[in-house]
A and B are shown apart, each in its own frame.
Chain A
Amino acid sequence: SAVISQKPSRDICQRGTSLTIQCQVDSQVTMMFWYRQQPGQSLTLIATANQGSEATYESGFVIDKFPISRPNLTFSTLTVSNMSPEDSSIYLCSVGGTQETQYFGPGTRLLVL
């Protein structure tokens, strides 16, 4: 399985500011995904990060709020823009393996005050 790292591992931010989360994989992967996990909840897919084209967003998530970059096959960023306390969550990067298998990074724990 791929080794996935995320930066930062955690952060405390003021409302109205933005935070960019980085996801680095140790091998080239086709599929990369960003998830949100609110406290005590399950995982919700934000978007699929596509290399060389715009990300594909799920219902309820928009590019202005969660812009995503995917400059190559090993790296992606997710920005949480104009944050509010409701954005306090764990943000997880995952990558696709063979035949739909997905592996997750350690997550970024975000607290918005």
Chain B
Amino acid sequence: GENVEQHPSTLSVQEGDSAVIKCTYSDSASNYFPWYKQELGKGPQLIIDIRSNVGEKKDQRIAVTLNKTAKHFSLHITETQPEDSAVYFCALGGNTPLVFGKGTRLSVIA
């Protein structure tokens, strides 16, 4: 079945710096690539998504880039703030239910 590799598993950055999380996949049928943020004690929250006909999408400090040829997509957070600290999950959508990466625990140090 579909598989998605997410790296790194943990990431610490200084407040104000940028954070990048990358996911790679193998199934070329995947055409939907969402990112979720999960804070402690809460359910995952959709923060941004991209479809296969688009290479980049931006929403304020958050952006997602997609390279369909290389089969990877990345989440970029600029000007990080302490409230960005959370676990981030990438996911794949296509002809099957969403498949999730293992998550990245982001810590933003003030």
Question: Which A residues are closer than 8 A to B by beta carbons?
Answer: 1, 4, 33, 41-45, 48, 58, 92, 99-107, 109
Contacts and interface: CB of A to CB of B under 8 A. Distances in A.
A7 B22 CA distance: 34
A43 B32 CA distance: 17
Nearest to B97: A45
Interface of B: 32, 34, 36, 41-46, 49, 51, 89, 93, 97-98, 100-103
A105 B100 contact: no
A12 B38 CA distance: 23
B88 to A, nearest CB: 11
A43 B44 contact: yes
Contact of A100 (B45, B98, B101): B98
Given A41-B102, A43-B44, A102 B89 contact: no
B44 A1 contact: no
A104 to B, nearest CB: 4
A103 B46 contact: yes
Contacts of A100: 32, 93, 98
15 contacts: A1-B46, A41-B102, A42-B89, A45-B98, A58-B97, A92-B43, A99-B32, A100-B93, A101-B49, A102-B34, A102-B46, A102-B98, A104-B45, A106-B42, A107-B42
